[in-house]
Amino acid sequence: MVLIIIDALLMLASLYLIYIWVPPAAILGETSRIVYLHVPLAWVSTLAFIVAGLASIQYIRKNAIEYIHCARSSVHIGFFFSILTVITGSLWAKVMWGSYWNWDPRETSITLLLLIYIAYFSLHQIVHTNPKGAMLESVYLVIAFVASPFLIFVVPRLYPSLHPEPVINTQGAILLDTEMRLVLIISVVTFTLFYATVLKLLLKVYKLEYVCTEDVS
Amino acid sequence: MFTIKAHNISKRYSYRLFSNISCSVSTGESVAIVGPNGSGKSTLLKILGNIVSPDSGRIEYFENKEPIPAHTVIHYAGIVAPYIQCYNHLTLTENIIFAFGSVTDDAIELLHRLDMYQHKDKVLHTYSTGMQQRCKIAMALLKKPKVLLLDEPGSNLDDSGRKILFELIKEIQPFTAIIMATNDSREAKLCHRSIVLDKGIGA
Amino acid sequence: MIKGLVRNIVKDLRIEFRSKVVISLILSFSVIVTISIGFASGGIIGSPMVHAILLWVIIFFSGMNTSHLFYREIEEHTALFNLMYYSPESIFVSKLIVNCIIMVAVAAIVGLLYLFVMDVSVYNVSGFAIMMLAGSSALAVCTTIIAAITALVQARGGLFTILSFPITLPIITVVIKSTTQCFSKEIYSSWSAILFLLAFSTLLGVVSYILFPYIWREF
């Protein structure tokens, strides 16, 4: 409960910071405000994938049902966040680069992440009644997890990038502005906390569901 | 000396099959698992052979009093069950070569006793189900298993087949731990002890 | 381990030779697709890039029938029989090798047929041959575990493609790039591509090898 309240307050604060307090970036203008949403969303999509991958490894090692619940919840959240990342990203791309989709390396990476999430859901739909289902899902996620550095760092490098460096883009030199950096950090923290809150809630839901099916039988 | 010790094992699928079963089987002993359809005989057999893991409880395996890891148990086991089949596209000889590398004198003798020798070079899918059952028995026994898991071993066998099976089981009994899931009272009588699972389907 | 490996490979090849399920599915699929592309295009498409993409898409989709190698063991109830004698690791490696053999054969046949039907000229023949060999075996190594997963849930075909696409994309991207260069007059060295394929498939192969025993049980 405390977590929810803190996060709600932080969310309001960052909304104020993003839309009112922080000055627009020099060249990008008012559109630059989307960066404070886009970057945290992309960060959470990646974080959710990492958490899901680690949870799956733990499930395979320990065979405890909590880990698979954690992986599933994390994938659910990551899926929605990566869709939002793609939407905010392509809106911004339209404004800045002139078209919604440019096959830019970062766009390719997030699409691949989205594809992995979709593949996981397809597998989950098919196996969730199977007693071996949880293990199959975990194994798939671990394989994808191991392959992902190649997907994220190698494949995109084969094409030239439009995104500003460094990797988790902070708009390079333009954003060195302390105010902007501060807002970005606050926003990332807020969204990470939001992720943690939702993850906790989903875990509770899964646990209740599991206990219920246990009781019925 | 091979020993299986099970403590308080429970298993449920969509309904609860059984709970808190404990038992112990060693070389030279044989246990029959009996009970009505749907009571979980095969499942208990699979759990004792570490083919399926239980929901709760634990099973320990010992070889000469030394504990051995559960996942290696299958290397000591011979299994005859409806859910296990020899390779249908291979001949019996090829199946034996696949599993053991060569057809030994022991194998030839066993095939003679099971009345399968003259059929050994035919592809298995041309066999009747009774002949396939004989193949499975041959393949399990040739392995010289430390633990023999039999699930309805007499199914599909004719009277002479059953007679041979009973003889073979009696011969191997002093050297092997035998666990048998069965509905047939004659088969159950071969065993020293029995575990009775009394609840039927969905209970 | 080696004994189990050899016996399993011999067994799989022998069964495949007798039943011809996998090879006939794969070959008829790939040949039909190649020829229909030839028909549809009438030999007009010219860009090396397009040829490379089409060629590898055909090979990738042909691979989806290799899950039958695992599915056969489950359908015919021989999986447990096999485990009674050999470790899951040796079963996995033997399937991986058989899968490689099948995929390399498919790549060779589809590659030649494609060149013939579409009238593509290859400027760098040795590079092209190496790419076909390396690409198809890398595909086979990385999709073996996916083949096992799809075989276990008995929803082959579609699911296999969905699951393996995100994982094999690095391979496909790299081989398409290199194959394009073989079809055009550029001088290039395929070593970096081969090194990448080797690293990627070794990594995935090792991880699959570790994970396989966790799914190949409870039959």
Q: Which of A67, A121, A132 to mutate to test the interface with C (most CBs of C within 10 A)?
A: A132
CATH for B2-85+143-196 is: 3.40.50.300
Name residue B166's amino acid.
F
What's the confidence (pLDDT) of residue A94?
82
Contact B15 A131 (CB under 8 A): no
Domain enclosing residue A55, as ranges: 2-13+35-216
Q: Find how far residue C10's CA is from the centre of its chain.
A: 19
Residue of B nearest to C76 (CA): B85
Asked if the C-beta of A11 comes within 8 angstroms of chain C's C-beta atoms, the answer is no
Cα–Cα distances in angstroms (integers) from residue B27 to residues B6, B176, C217, in the given order: 15, 5, 25
Q: Could you read off the pLDDT of B54-108 as tens digits, one per residue?
A: 888 889 999 888 898 888 888 889 999 988 999 989 999 999 999 998 888 989 9
User: According to the model, what pLDDT value does residue A170 have?
Assistant: 43
Report the chain C residue with the minimal C-alpha distance to residue A144. C167
Does residue A23 fall inside a structural domain? no
On whether any CB of chain C is under 8 Å from the CB of A126, the answer is yes
Q: What is the pLDDT of residue B202?
A: 44
Dihedral sign from CA coordinates of A132, C169, C109, C29:
positive
Chain B CB within 8 Å of residue A131 CB? yes
Q: Is residue A79 part of a domain?
A: yes
Question: What average pLDDT does the segment A46-71 reach?
Answer: 92
CB C55 within 8 A of CB C114: yes
Q: Report the C-alpha dihedral over residues B111, B115, B116, B118, rounded to 10 degrees.
A: 110
- Exposure of C51 by Cβ count < 10 A (0-12 exposed, 13-18 middle, 19+ buried)? buried
For residue A131, being part of any structural domain is answered with: yes
For the whole model, what pTM was predicted?
0.88
Q: Partners for C (CB, 8 Å, 3+ pairs)? A: A, B
Long-range interactions of A163-166: CB distance < 8 A, separation 24+? A163/A104, A163/A105, A163/A106
Residue A29 lies in a domain: no
CB pair distance less than 8 Å for B78 and C84? yes
Query: What pLDDT, on a 0 to 100 scale, did the predictor assign at position A27?
Result: 62
- Measured in angstroms, the CA of B199 and the nearest CA of chain A are apart by 15
| C81 with B84: Cβ contact below 8 A | yes
Q: Is the pLDDT of residue C118 over 50?
A: yes
With cut-offs at 50, 70 and 90, classify the pLDDT of residue C62.
confident
Q: Compute how many other C-beta atoms are within 10 angstroms of the C-beta atom of residue C59.
A: 26
Which whole number is the average pLDDT over A190-208? Answer: 90
Query: What ipTM score was computed for the predicted complex, to two decimals?
Result: 0.90
User: How many angstroms separate the CA atoms of B109 and A56, rounded?
Assistant: 50
Residue A165 in this model has a pLDDT that exceeds 60: no
A98 or A57, greater pLDDT:
A57
| Location of structure tokens 């009505």 | B36
Report the range of poorest mean pLDDT among A49-58, C96-105, C118-127, C201-210.
C118-127
Average pLDDT score over residue span A8-37: 74
User: In which band, very low, low, confident or very high, does the pLDDT at A37 lie, cut at 50, 70 and 90?
Assistant: confident
Mean pLDDT calculated for residue range A85-101? 83
- In tens, the pLDDT along C132-147 reads 999 999 999 999 999 9
Nearest 5 degrees, angle CA A48-CA A51-CA A53? 110
Average confidence score pLDDT of chain C: 87
Q: What is the pLDDT of residue C17?
A: 87
Greater confidence, A63 or B92? Answer: B92
Q: Minimum mean pLDDT among A60-69, A101-110, B53-62, B142-151: which range?
A: A101-110
Q: Which pLDDT belongs to residue A142?
A: 95
Are A70 and A199 within 8 A, CB to CB? yes
CA–CA min distance A74, chain B (Å): 25
- Compute the distance between CA of residue C75 and CA of residue C104 in angstroms, rounded to an integer: 26
Instruction: For an interface test with C, give the residue of A124, A148, A150 to mutate (most C CBs within 10 A).
Output: A150
Q: How many CB pairs under 8 A join B and C?
A: 64
Rounded to whole angstroms, the Cα distance separating C192 from C19 reads 40
Mean pLDDT, residues A77-95: 89
> What percent of chain A lies above the pLDDT cut of 70?
82
Count: domains in chain A: 1
* Structure-block tokens of residue A11: 């969310």
Confidence band, pLDDT 50/70/90 cuts, at residue A51:
very high
| pLDDT of res. C157 | 65
Domain spans in chain B, listed from the N-terminal domain onward: 2-85+143-196
Nearest to A140 among C149, C155, C196 (CB): C149
Six token digits for residue A170:
């902070």
The whole-angstrom distance between B90's CA and the closest CA on chain C is 7
Higher-confidence position of B80 and C156: B80
Q: Which pLDDT belongs to residue A214? A: 65
- Asked, for residue A8, whether it belongs to a domain, the answer is yes
Q: Which of C3, C7, C15 is facing B89, going by the closest CB pair?
A: C15
Strand boundaries in B35-171, DSSP class E: 56-63, 66-68, 77-80, 147-151
For B:14-33, CB contacts with A below 8 A are 14-16
Shortest alpha-carbon distance between residue C144 and chain A (Å): 11
